[in-house]
Chain A
């Protein structure tokens, strides 16, 4: 009896519904429209991204680990050059931000921490914070991204390694039929390892570093492209930083005046069949440093010294995994009266094998010759210390580099077009 009652109760709504008047007959056209609308909805649902999670708004995170075994004149050493943590995310509809924090044998360093506009009119972009300034070909590349193990000595010596800058950058994509970008940077200093200036000292604006760069690119044919760039940086010294010898007094604008300028050229042969897997890239860069020298013994300012440095680098991609390359670097040591006596030359060849896009092994041999025969304690009367002179030591260097990237990494090995 109870079962019958339950069944009646369950059926009641359906019976009531059955007694209502039937709906008006649907036309075929409206049926088709309804089916189509449903199909569209289903397609959109099936094509929707996966469900969001609580950490959806966290920045994208990646890590690059760069290890090197370096044998210098039969003295091998293993170094963790960098464990680089990379964070990046959109801040709001108008800005994106990123930070690159590096831990290494040298300690922990905030390499980059900056934000950049996304929606400025007139093809303008503003970047602010700590970023890599655009001086030359490799200035905006982190060490582990380079096509060779070490940054060429010329860049290390003149720019100061990675072109780190604390300040502002304005970029303008010039509306020309070919690619032309103009960039201007105002910052405390240029170069991570540039000892002439530090980031902590307040300075009048005319003692800041001001940098400008023009970079043009054109295609000579479907397979051949050419880039031409020119950079100039007004980057004065702001304090009496010195390693050894008597300290000098770089106090007057005339004494602190330093201009770094350079031109760079890149030629790329990238055949249509092969894409990124085949091709040849040749690039070269020449820099001039113009600054006042100091007498080694009296610390009195002497005449202005113009020195030059540069490198040429060629790399051939032989397949999906294999690349070979070589470079030659010639560097005159700047910032000293006798600088022309000290010239370092490097000749290197390297082979790169990429197991995958995120796992790379590189073997490099480098021969360094130098007319500098002093000790490594620094050069009296200059801004150079032991670290600056490491890459100028003569000798035979064998290097085995193993680099991996995991997680999200915005500047992966192939993520940039610069070289």
Chain B
């Protein structure tokens, strides 16, 4: 009995030690959690916040997230204010001195890993007014819709992990090299696949599509939303029908978190096809990783134009 207790205690101590050795990371979005796991390997334990099926602008805040952030060594986030509706409040509740909420930078402190550093930002607004909808002041934050940006995200994560855990910096460097090679191969394949999409005219539900347009060459002419974050009005939908007919738009891109009603109605009125894409990993059951969700999106777009 005594030996059994000692064995259990030893196992417990070892498990606690192993847990203590791992870098504890919270990632805001599932694809960031995926890349963090690829870079961190066994040195890092990663917890995600968003579930993939939600609207990234309106992630449900659960109090348990504050507990996770309180225990974490670092937080991996998209940046460019995409997480403004949940991360500042969660960081405030987490009371973790390594990660302090900040109005301009989202997060300040050694534990903050901003994946947008070095991203070529598109659609920086010239006029910051709510009359233009729910603008992101630093520019369009949905850069993860361009698979090529995954390389920069991975690099930022590796740099962040090396800063927090210099003892394993070499491991992170090796993992980064391996993941970058895998990602670049996948991106090259996706680029080939996406060739038929170049020049195709389309509309999207939300104005989050600039980076996808840059990768595929799709010509997005308008959005279902009246302005970013502002649901469509009947006159706007009616105007869209005329515009789509006039410009021969045959593709409606709906981000999976938005209701199908408007996109389906527009397709019915104009004869266009609807492609449902994800803006996060785990948006669909078969898209658990960054690469899988990019593949899903390209395939969905191709299927909608009959290629």
Chain A contact residues, CB within 8 Å of chain B:
40, 43-44, 46-47, 49-50, 60, 88-90, 93, 118-121, 123-125, 171, 173, 175-179, 181, 217-219, 222, 225, 227, 270, 272-277, 319-321, 355-358, 406, 408, 412, 414-417
Contact = CB atoms under 8 A, between A and B. Distances in A.
B54, B59, B116, B117: most-surrounded residue (chain A CB, <10 A): B54
Contacts of A89: 103
Given A40-B118, A90-B103, A275-B58, A173 B230 contact: no
Given A173-B66, A173-B93, A276-B60, 13 more contacts: A43-B118, A47-B120, A119-B100, A175-B71, A217-B62, A272-B53, A275-B53, A276-B55, A276-B58, A277-B55, A355-B230, A357-B229, A415-B85
A124 B54 CA distance: 32
A72 to B, nearest CB: 33
A179 B67 contact: yes
Nearest to B119: A47
B95 interface: yes
A273 B137 CA distance: 28
B160 to A, nearest CB: 15
Nearest to A52: B104
B53 A273 contact: yes
Contacts of A217: 62-64
A380 B165 CA distance: 69
Nearest to A125: B95
B21 to A, nearest CB: 19
A217 B59 CA distance: 18
A90 B102 contact: yes
Main SS at interface, chain B = loop
Contacts of A276: 54-55, 58-60
Interface string B79-94: 0000001000100011
Nearest to A271: B53
A173 B259 contact: no
Interface of B: 51-55, 58-64, 66-67, 70-71, 85, 89, 93-97, 100, 102-104, 116-121, 124, 130, 134, 137-138, 152, 229-231, 257, 259
A414 B58 contact: yes
A173 B104 CA distance: 25
Given A44-B117, A124-B95, A357-B134, A270 B67 contact: no
Contacts of B89: 415-417
Contacts of A124: 95
A277 B70 contact: no
The 10 closest A-B pairs by CB, nearest first: A275-B54, A217-B63, A179-B63, A43-B118, A276-B58, A417-B61, A119-B97, A273-B53, A123-B95, A179-B67
B149 to A, nearest CB: 11
Contact of A121 (B97, B124, B138): B97
A272 B49 CA distance: 12
Contact of B121 (A46, A90, A274): A46
Nearest to B67: A179
Contacts of A90: 102-103
B152 to A, nearest CB: 7
B67 A173 contact: yes
